[in-house]
Amino acid sequence: MGVALKSRSRRLLYISAQGTLVASPLAYADAPLDYFLHAAGPAATPTMHLGWGLAAMCVAVVIIIALLLTVAMARRRPEAASRAIGKEEGGMRWLSIGVGVSTVALLVSLAYTLVTLQAVAQPTLTPGLNITVTAYDWWWKVDYADDSDADNRFVTANEIHIPVGVPVRIGLKSADVIHAFWVPRLAGKTQAIPGQTNRQWIEADTPGVYRGQCTQFCGAQHAHMAFDVVAQPRAEFDAWRAAQLRQAAVPVDDAVQAGQKIFMDRCAGCHTVRGSDAAGMHAPDLTHVGSRERLAAGTLTNTPEHLLDWIRHAQQIKPDSLMPSFTLKAQDAAALSAYLATLR
Ligand code: HEC
Ligand SMILES: [Cu+2]
């Protein structure tokens, strides 16, 4: 089909030159979702400790059992007298010790799990930012609404910006089926369920881009339902926010105007561009699409070529997605590209 598909997802395992399956030495650094082992904020830290704690406990159990088994195998049985099963000296005592120790260990891990759940359920402080995230087949709408000021509102998609060190409260909704919101380094998973608003909170200690993913199977393109959380220092975040609040510029250039006309005819039924008459509600807001790092929920990096590839081949790139592929004459494609390039 001739579409250059550049995916950012990386491989944990690769086939080496000799044809053997080896773990990439960089796999750890590159794998996007193993990060729950390395929390980057207070909403994820207790879960990370729990994860490591339970893992340590499991390892200890395996080691202890292996040692006991080795000792048992090495030891000679006492002679004939007490051969009958159950008559071995001390057998019952060991049984009680084993059951007792396991019971205590399980109760401790249960208590630890409950304490952790309690710790991550509520944000510790009053949130510094409220956003609403709505999951769609197969992308994320991100709504920065400000209850006190209707003008201070904008909607974007698949890229959530947050200020560093600020607890962010997320109202989580779904427009269709059940999805789940997961940013491993920032918080545990929370389901997005149609007809209700679930609460989730995240907070990042350090600036960075934190990968998120839908983790509830939701149909054909579930795997291509990723997003990024971009944590920025306050000033950078404020600048981003101010840019997002701006409406799209009204085109003056002829080519751009021609492109906007094509957009109004073919795209505006689904997509919104604030500042124009395009007000479609069931697809990503494109007012500042150029400012986003990736297209179609993490499927493509956002370059002008990929943008046009996506418009022409959405159904090959992301089969069954709710965006049709468009046949465009070269001239129309150029005009549309010129218009889309202004949406940044
Ligand atoms: C029938 C509704 C529909 C129409 C018409 C439509 N789109 Fe889309 N578009 C979507 C949906 C739904 C998505 C999200 C797809 C996904 O990621 O699964 C999307 C995604 C996109 C994206 C990626 C946005 C992002 O931030 O990831 C771009 C760019 C885009 N469309 C451009 C266009 C253009 C240009 C046209 C007109 C030529 C158009 N669309 C027509 C429904 C539509
Ligand atoms: Cu999903």
Residue nearest (by alpha carbon) to ligand 1 atom 41 = 267
Q: What percent of the chain has pLDDT over 90?
A: 65
Average pLDDT over residues 207-219: 94
Please indicate, yes or no, whether residues 182 and 311 belong to a single structural domain of this protein. Answer: no
Ligand 1 center to 344 CA (angstroms): 16
- Residue 60, in any domain of the structure: yes
Is residue 120 a contact partner of residue 187, using CB atoms and an 8 Å limit?
Answer: yes
Does residue 128 carry a pLDDT above 80? yes
90-111 pLDDT, tens digit each: 678 878 888 998 899 999 999 9
- Residue 221, in any domain of the structure: yes
Picking from 198, 223, 245, the residue at the C-terminal end of a domain is 245
Please indicate, yes or no, whether residues 59 and 182 belong to a single structural domain of this protein. Answer: yes
Cα–Cα distance, 177 to 184 (Å, whole number): 22
Closest CA to 229 of 2, 98, 40, 73: 40
Picking from 245, 274, 303, the residue at the C-terminal end of a domain is 245
Cα–Cα distance, 180 to 189 (Å, whole number): 6
Closest ligand to residue 309's CA: 1
Please indicate, yes or no, whether residues 69 and 197 belong to a single structural domain of this protein. Answer: yes
Number of H helices, E strands in the chain: 7, 14
Average pLDDT over residues 261-265: 96
pLDDT at 24: 38
Please indicate, yes or no, whether residues 196 and 121 belong to a single structural domain of this protein. Answer: yes
- Residue 170, CA distances (Å) to 21, 60, 175 in order: 41, 38, 16
Long-range contacts (CB closer than 8 Å, 24 or more residues apart) made by 85-90: none
Please indicate, yes or no, whether residues 215 and 144 belong to a single structural domain of this protein. Answer: yes
Ligand 2 center to 138 CA (angstroms): 7
Average pLDDT over residues 153-175: 95
Q: Given pLDDT bands bounded at 50, 70 and 90, which one contains residue 84?
A: low
Q: Tokens 């919101």 correspond to what residue?
A: 181
Please indicate, yes or no, whether residues 118 and 193 belong to a single structural domain of this protein. Answer: yes
- Which one of 136, 264, 271, 337 would you pick to mutate in the ligand 1 pocket, going by the greatest count of ligand atoms within 8 A of its CB? 271
Picking from 187, 214, 245, the residue at the C-terminal end of a domain is 245
Atom number, ligand 1, closest to the C-alpha of residue 139: 17
- Residue 26, in any domain of the structure: no
Structure tokens at 37: 């082992």
Does residue 30 carry a pLDDT above 60? no
Does residue 10 carry a pLDDT above 60? no
Is residue 190 a contact partner of residue 171, using CB atoms and an 8 Å limit?
Answer: no
Please indicate, yes or no, whether residues 229 and 312 belong to a single structural domain of this protein. Answer: no
Number of domains observed in the structure of the chain = 2
- C-alpha dihedral over 125, 127, 128, 133, to 10 degrees? 150
Could you tell me which residues are beta bridge partners of residue 4? none
Please indicate, yes or no, whether residues 101 and 213 belong to a single structural domain of this protein. Answer: yes
Please indicate, yes or no, whether residues 104 and 47 belong to a single structural domain of this protein. Answer: yes
Which domain CATH number covers 155?
2.60.40.420
Please indicate, yes or no, whether residues 211 and 320 belong to a single structural domain of this protein. Answer: no
Is residue 118 a contact partner of residue 159, using CB atoms and an 8 Å limit?
Answer: no
pLDDT at 83: 59
Please calculate the CA angle 296-260-175 and round it to the nearest 5 degrees: 35
Residue nearest (by alpha carbon) to ligand 1 atom 7 = 323
Cα–Cα distance, 242 to 308 (Å, whole number): 28
pLDDT at 31: 55
Average pLDDT over residues 63-70: 92
Residues 6+ apart with CB under 8 A from 241: 144, 161
Residues 6+ apart with CB under 8 A from 51: 36, 37
pLDDT at 94: 79
- Residue 201, in any domain of the structure: yes
3-class DSSP state of 126: coil
- Residue 284, in any domain of the structure: yes
Ligand 1 center to 292 CA (angstroms): 14
Closest ligand to residue 278's CA: 1
Q: Which residues form the domain of 185?
A: 31-75+90-245
Cα–Cα distance, 132 to 142 (Å, whole number): 6
Please indicate, yes or no, whether residues 47 and 194 belong to a single structural domain of this protein. Answer: yes
Does residue 86 carry a pLDDT above 70? no
- Residue 3, in any domain of the structure: no
Ligand 1 center to 114 CA (angstroms): 43
Ligand 1 center to 166 CA (angstroms): 32
- Residue 18, in any domain of the structure: no
Ligand 1 center to 118 CA (angstroms): 40
Please indicate, yes or no, whether residues 264 and 196 belong to a single structural domain of this protein. Answer: no
Kindly list the protein residues whose Cβ atom lies closer than 6 A to any atom of ligand 1: 138-139, 157-158, 221, 266-267, 269-271, 283-284, 286, 289, 292, 295-297, 307, 310-311, 318, 321-324, 326
pLDDT at 3: 38
More confident position, 79 or 182: 182
Q: Alpha helices, DSSP H only, in 130-181?
A: none
Closest ligand to residue 215's CA: 2
- Residue 11, in any domain of the structure: no
Cα–Cα distance, 30 to 197 (Å, whole number): 33
Q: What percent of the chain has pLDDT over 70?
A: 85
- CB-neighbour burial class of residue 128 (10 A; exposed 0-12, middle 13-18, buried 19+): middle
Residues 6+ apart with CB under 8 A from 90: none
Ligand 2 center to 321 CA (angstroms): 13
